[in-house]
Structure 1
């Protein structure tokens, strides 16, 4: 008798498995495991043998990172221009 192919278990409603979360965040699965150890990133919910991540938490984390990057760029752009120093040839003329 042939064995039936196992269908993957769907994640809880509103969640994705760790591999899909890593793809959405453009990081590796190992990076998400590292984030979990360092208490960084979205919170993973342990499910039997796998981690599930809430889609809303992933989106919120990405928006927070995007906002922090924009703020850093704007802070750098707000620096006033440095005054130009006169060249010796310009002063002698």
Structure 2
């Protein structure tokens, strides 16, 4: 294991308005050579959420899809089945 990698991911409580902005900041630093359609969909959705033309949940789903396709999503990430539904572990 890399010495700078946490053995167990640290989950933090979201601050209203912050998660979408943090996702957008992350996407803006993504290498140009690795930007594809899934990246663009996530970027557009996150940007749209910051200007209130995309629902935050839709931005979240687009960012999750980008992370899953890019191999960034933790294997033990809990995702809700639907709004207000129970959570389940995402299987890679």
TM-score (norm 1): 0.26
Flag the structure with larger Rg: 1
TM-score (norm 2): 0.27
Q: Name the structure, 1 or 2, with higher relative contact order (CA <8 Å, separation 6+).
A: 1
Q: Which has the higher strand share?
A: 1
